Amino acid sequence: MSIKCKKLGYIYGQGTPFEFQALKDVDLEIEEGSFTAIIGQTGSGKSTFIQHINALLLPTEGEIQIDEYTISALQKPESLKSLRKKSGLVFQFPEYQLFEETIEKDIMFGPMNFGVEEEEAKTIAKKVIEMVGLDQSYLEKSPFDLSGGQKRRVAIAGILAMNPDILVLDEPTAGLDPQGTKEMMNLFKIINESGKTVIIVTHDMNHVLTYCDHAIVMNNGHVERKGTVKDIFQDSAYLNQLGIDLPLITHMILDLNKKGFHIDSSINNIDDLVEAIGGEIHG
């Protein structure tokens, strides 16, 4: 399922004193099966944009096309339910949305809302709880007895239970500790490798380098650049101007190359970096 935007724009509070144009003239395409990062400063329009991907916000200008659905400012589809089933959105701090008395019920809520029978929803709950790295014994517990990181996993399991083709995540690792962050990012990688399109809003360029294949750079409500992660990180001067720091690995490679090294700047992990540095010093 690819996503295409044409001249997409969004104005908050149109016609009120709070009117604010958060998105303007967004033209882009996100390929099916990609792991795409959306980067940019706070307030650049990232969160506003992703809320269009499951029609939580409807365009006030232009259009967005998701698979066979077209949502435009002029023409809004009658039912968005089937679109929302295909495109799952995980907000910042999704753990605040948990509400049921058991984790199992919380996870089953989504699928049952889309017409899945209770028995089948239970089977789904068993499957997805393990996908997010918790065992089935958690299903009977109250979601409110869990730690923050565990709650977040349960919230994500609730989205996975609807088996969306597109998973959209708004800063899914904010507030998690390094261990939790790594496990969460690995989980998204596995989901992506199972064939789903994963779109992630993040400030952590180290994650973008390690996990993503494509990146979209937003600034002041516009999409300024799009391309492979490798290409995006080549232009450090541009990113710097937007207040985006390079991944530490890329940063170090570019520094060293200025001082006479010749290291491949597309390296995306520490072991390859150390290998390359070692090779040069020995060489």
Partner 1 sequence: MDKMIEVKDLCFEYVEGSQTINHISFDIYKGEYVTILGHNGSGKSTIAKLLIGLLEKKSGSIRIHGYELNLENLYKVREQVGIVFQNPDNQFIGATVRDDIAFGLENICIPREEMDDLINTYASQVRMDQFLDHEPTKLSGGQKQRVAIAGILAMSPSIIILDEATSMLDPRGRHEINELVRDLKKEREMTILSITHDIEEAKNADKIILLNEGQIISIGTPQEILSQVDVLEQLKLDIPFSLKVSQKLEEKGFHIHKTLDMKELENQLCQLNAKN
String of contacts with partner 1 for each residue 60-99, x by CB under 8 A: --------------------------------xx--x---
Local structure of residue 63 (DSSP, 8 states) = E
38 class by beta-carbon count within 10 Å (0-12 exposed, 13-18 middle, 19+ buried): buried
Q: Does 113 bind partner 1 (CB under 8 A)?
A: no
Q: Which residues 6+ apart lie within 8 Å of 59 measured at CB?
A: 8, 9, 10, 52, 71, 72, 73
Q: Does 147 bind partner 1 (CB under 8 A)?
A: yes
Q: Which amino acid is at 143?
A: P
Minimal distance, residue 203 CB to partner 1, in Å: 4
Candidates 14, 43, 99, 269: give the one binding partner 1 (CB under 8 A). Answer: 43
- Residue 218's DSSP bridge partners are 223
Pair 162, 128: CB distance under 8 Å? no
Q: Does 277 bind partner 1 (CB under 8 A)?
A: yes
Q: Does 149 bind partner 1 (CB under 8 A)?
A: yes
Reduced to 3 states (helix: H, G, I; strand: E, B; else coil), residue 224 is strand
Q: Does 18 bind partner 1 (CB under 8 A)?
A: yes
Pair 125, 143: CB distance under 8 Å? no
Q: Does 245 bind partner 1 (CB under 8 A)?
A: yes
Give the residue with the Cβ less far from partner 1, 77 or 175: 175
Q: Does 237 bind partner 1 (CB under 8 A)?
A: no
Going by C-alpha positions, the residue among 258, 228, 214, 223 that lies closest to residue 242 is 223
Interface stretch with partner 1, choices 14-22, 69-77, 114-122, 227-235 (CB under 8 A):
14-22
Give the residue with the Cβ less far from partner 1, 98 or 121: 98
**3-state secondary structure string across 66-83:** ECCEEEECCCCCCCCHHH
Candidates 4, 6, 203, 230: give the one binding partner 1 (CB under 8 A). Answer: 203
**3-state secondary structure string across 141-167:** CCHHHCCHHHHHHHHHHHHHCCCCCEE
Q: How far apart are CA 53 and CA 65, in angstroms?
A: 9
Q: Does 56 bind partner 1 (CB under 8 A)?
A: no
Q: Does 1 bind partner 1 (CB under 8 A)?
A: no
Local structure of residue 242 (DSSP, 8 states) = T
Q: Does 205 bind partner 1 (CB under 8 A)?
A: yes
Candidates 58, 80, 112, 256: give the one binding partner 1 (CB under 8 A). Answer: 256
277 class by beta-carbon count within 10 Å (0-12 exposed, 13-18 middle, 19+ buried): middle
Give the residue with the Cβ less far from partner 1, 115 or 260: 260
Candidates 148, 224, 241, 264: give the one binding partner 1 (CB under 8 A). Answer: 148
Q: Does 41 bind partner 1 (CB under 8 A)?
A: yes
Q: Which residues contact partner 1 by CB under 8 A?
A: 12-13, 17-18, 20, 41-43, 46-47, 92-93, 96, 147-149, 171, 174-180, 203-205, 243-245, 248, 251-252, 255-256, 259-261, 270-271, 273-274, 277-278, 280-283
